[in-house]
Amino acid sequence: MTGQHVKGLDFMSSTENDWKVCGLTACHNYWHYGLYHIEQGNFEDAFRLFEKEIGKRSLQSKSTMEIVNSVSFLYRIKFEGVPVKEKLYDFNEVCKNHLDDHVLGFNDVHYMMACLGVDDTKSARNFKDSIKEFIRCGNGDTRDAMNTVGLDLCEAFTAYENQQFSDAVNIIYPKRYQIVKLGGSNAQRDVFNLFIIHAALKSDDKKHQNLARMLISERDCLKANSPLTTRLKAKMYNTSI
């Protein structure tokens, strides 16, 4: 990324034209810029950037990395209570073509997220069966990662989408520190951290409410003055910002 970082990310105007001709690099840069809008709570701007650049470029390239990043992007907004189902349909259609690939655990979990996000229960069920068969007959790092934590994360997302928030937390929180084995960068895997927090916030188990408080405090220590964390705190105390 070129240009100088100034307040409000004004450098964007000087780099956008460069990004437009950089293919997948541009798409990924726009994704990071879109995360800034989500962090700030600027969901209209985030959607505008998604439709104009991120999602559009992902569907044109069909790059698996950018497809799963788009699914992740939409889920981050979904966690904020903003409807994204209609925007997920095109990505689920692409993901369905990769349900038996099992190239990277990080991708597999996002394929499941896409299926669940549009209530494609048939594809989700078939995908889960494919993962179990891969674990039974496959080998290598991806197989081991899916066996250790990937399938559990898929099960946790399934429970979450079925409004079984307590089950979602019980399934995945004990394996929280194993998620790194799935691959992806810290920024990419943060969607899973947010997932656990939102599941804990929605759980009717008091222990999970305490867990949510701990995870939000941890997030606050790692990134002070974060508007996203402020919104999480508001949800925790059921107050308005």
pLDDT tens figures, 195-206 = 999 999 999 999
* pLDDT at 25 (0 to 100): 87
**Angle between helices 165-172 and 186-202 in degrees, nearest 10:** 140
* pLDDT at 21 (0 to 100): 52
Number of independent structural domains in the chain: 1
Let me know if residue 169 belongs to a domain.
yes
CA dist., res. 180 & res. 83, Å (int): 28
Let me know if residue 24 belongs to a domain.
no
Let me know if residue 223 belongs to a domain.
yes
Mean pLDDT in order along the chain per 10 residues (241 residues): 38 48 80 97 97 96 96 98 97 97 98 98 97 98 98 98 98 98 97 98 96 96 94 83 43
Let me know if residue 145 belongs to a domain.
yes
Let me know if residue 42 belongs to a domain.
no
How does the average pLDDT of the chain come out, rounded?
91
Q: What's the distance, CA 138 to chain centroid?
A: 26
Let me know if residue 45 belongs to a domain.
no
* pLDDT at 22 (0 to 100): 61
* pLDDT at 75 (0 to 100): 98
* pLDDT at 158 (0 to 100): 98
Let me know if residue 55 belongs to a domain.
no
* pLDDT at 5 (0 to 100): 38
Let me know if residue 68 belongs to a domain.
yes
Instruction: For residue 190, report the phi and psi dihedrals to the nearest 5 degrees.
Output: -60, -25
* pLDDT at 14 (0 to 100): 42
CA dist., res. 215 & res. 213, Å (int): 6
**Full residue range of the structural domain in which residue 174 is found:** 62-236
Q: Dihedral through CA 100, CA 104, CA 106, CA 107, nearest 10?
A: -40
Q: Are 65 and 24 spatial neighbours (Cβ–Cβ below 8 Å)?
A: yes
CA dist., res. 9 & res. 6, Å (int): 5
CA distances from 139 to 44, 135, 150 (A): 44, 8, 14
pLDDT tens figures, 118-175 = 999 999 999 999 999 999 999 999 999 999 999 999 999 999 999 999 999 999 999 9
| 138 SS3 class | coil
Number of residues written out for the chain:
241
